[in-house]
Structure formats: C-alpha cells, structure tokens
C-alpha cells in the first residue's frame, strides 16, 4: 500500500483494477476489456422527492436505478456531499423501502441532436410522443 501513498486517483484506480483482474484470474474468470466495475449504493434517506444514498459513485446529471417493490425507478444525481449522493426520481416512488439498492447506470445523460428532431414531439427523456417512430439523430450531446 505504501507504493500508492501520494498517488493520483487515476493511479489508485489502475492499481485497484489490476488487483481485481488478478483475483478474477485466480478464479478462472476473465474481466471484460474496456468495462469498469459499477459500485452500487444503498438508499439511506428519502425526504420529499430527494433521495440520499451512500456507497455509489456517479457524476452530476448521471442516471441511477433505485430499487422499489416490484421494480426499478430512474433517478438523476442532483448533488453530493462527502460520501452522500443526492438523487431526484423521474417517476413516482411506489414501494420505496429503506436500504434499497441504488445502481449507477452506464448510460450517460444526453440529448439526441440533428435535423431528425425538426417537427418532432418528444418528452424530457427524448422519447418520441408523436407516433412517427424513432428519431434519426445525427449525434448526441451530454447534459451534465
């Protein structure tokens, strides 16, 4: 551990990934190239529509899945303080329980852009509401 004293966060992550890959190798498992581990969290508190989780790592604007009785609800990361991550759900929270799992999504928040959006009606997630099929976007831009 002394080799990592004063190391940058990137150095620490590289060392952690190497340790995990070595352990997986001893079990006969091979890590998937280019994929990183997702650190799940636990719901600690809910006040109004603000959810407070610990243990997960997600940047501002990222989407997380929050476990509810019978399924999952999407929630956006709207803030953090120390080890706490604050989330705002995008749907009603029926069946929310203390200590529910909070899983950061690999999908990054963004908006499809391009000529294919002209004349279309979409919701806040970019899903078409006009019945004209999928949007043929030319690209996407990040929202966070």
Closest by Cα among 105, 101, 93, 102 to 47: 93
CATH for the 41-104 domain, from 1.10.530.10, 3.90.1150.10, 2.40.10.170, 3.40.50.300:
2.40.10.170
pLDDT on residue 105: 84
Q: What is the mean pLDDT of the chain?
A: 82
Does the structure show a pLDDT above 60 at 84? yes
Return d(Cα 62, Cα 87) in angstroms, integer.
9
pLDDT on residue 3: 52
What digits encode the pLDDT tens for the residues 25-65? 777 776 665 566 678 899 999 999 999 999 988 888 888 99
Q: Where are the domains of the chain?
A: 1-37, 41-104, 109-144
């Amino acid at each position: 551990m002394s080799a990592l004293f004063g190391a940058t966060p990137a150095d620490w992550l590289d060392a952690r990934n190497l340790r995990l890959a070595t352990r997986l190798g001893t079990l006969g498992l091979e890590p998937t190239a280019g994929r990183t581990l997702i650190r799940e969290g636990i719901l600690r508190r809910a006040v109004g529509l603000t959810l407070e989780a610990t243990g997960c790592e997600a940047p501002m604007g990222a989407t997380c899945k929050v476990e509810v009785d019978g399924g999952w609800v999407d929630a956006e990361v709207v803030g953090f303080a120390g080890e706490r991550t604050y989330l705002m759900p995008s749907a009603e929270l029926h069946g929310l329980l203390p200590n529910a799992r909070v899983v950061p999504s690999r999908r990054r928040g963004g908006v499809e852009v391009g000529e294919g959006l002209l004349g279309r009606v979409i919701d806040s997630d970019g899903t078409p509401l006009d019945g004209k099929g999928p949007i043929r976007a030319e690209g996407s831009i990040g929202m966070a």
